[in-house]
Chains A and B, each alone.
Chain A
Amino acid sequence: MNGGLDLEQRYRRVLRLLPGWYRERWEEDMVAAFLDSWHTGDPEDDEWALEFCKPTWPEVADVAVLAVRLHLGGPGTPRRYAWGQAIRRAVLAVLLLHAVLGLNVLVRITWSRRLFGLPAPPAILATATPGGVWDTVFYVVNFAWVVIFVALVLGHYRTARVLAALAIVPDLVALLQAEFTRIMPVPFGPWAWWILFNLVLVLAMTTFHSGAPRAARWPWLLALPAGYLLVIVPLLTLQATGNSAWVPDLAGQCCLLVAVACLAHVPRAWSRHAAGSGVWSLTLTLLATLAGAYRIATLTSYLYDPHLVNVSLAELLILLVAIALVAPDAARAQAGTPARPPHPHATAA
Chain B
Amino acid sequence: MASKPMTGQAFFVLTALAGGPRHGYGIVGEVAELSQGRILLKIGSLYGVLDRLAAEGLIEPDREEAHDGRLRRYYRLTRDGQRALAEEAELHAAAARAVRAGLGQTGPAAAGAAG
Seen from chain A, the residues whose Cβ lies within 8 Å of a Cβ on chain B are 22, 25-26, 28-37, 58-59, 62-66, 69, 75-76, 81, 157-158, 209-211, 338, 340-349
Contact = CB atoms under 8 A, between A and B. Distances in A.
Interface of B: 1-4, 23-25, 28, 42-48, 50-52, 54-57, 60-68, 70-73
Contacts of A340: 54-55
26 contacts: A25-B51, A26-B47, A28-B70, A28-B73, A29-B73, A30-B24, A30-B43, A32-B25, A33-B47, A35-B68, A36-B72, A58-B42, A62-B45, A63-B43, A66-B47, A66-B48, A76-B51, A76-B56, A81-B55, A210-B1, A211-B3, A341-B54, A343-B73, A347-B65, A348-B71, A349-B67
A29 B61 CA distance: 11
B6 to A, nearest CB: 11
Given A66-B48, A341-B61, A37 B73 contact: no
Contact of B47 (A29, A65, A338, A344): A29
Highest count of chain B CB atoms <10 Å: which of A62, A75, A157, A210: A62
Contacts of B24: 29-30, 32-33, 36
Q: Is the interface of A mostly helix, strand, loop or mixed?
A: helix
A180 B98 CA distance: 54
Contacts of B73: 28-29, 32, 343-344
Given A59-B44, A62-B43, A343-B61, A76 B52 contact: yes
B105 to A, nearest CB: 34
B23 A347 contact: no
Contacts of A62: 42-45
Given A158-B1, A210-B2, A37 B72 contact: no
Nearest to A36: B25
Contacts of B50: 26
B55 A346 contact: no
Contacts of B42: 58-59, 62
Given A36-B25, A75-B52, A344 B62 contact: yes
Given A28-B70, A32-B23, A158-B1, 19 more contacts: A32-B71, A33-B24, A33-B47, A35-B70, A36-B24, A37-B25, A59-B44, A62-B42, A63-B43, A65-B44, A66-B45, A211-B4, A340-B55, A344-B61, A344-B62, A346-B71, A347-B64, A348-B65, A348-B71
A278 to B, nearest CB: 17
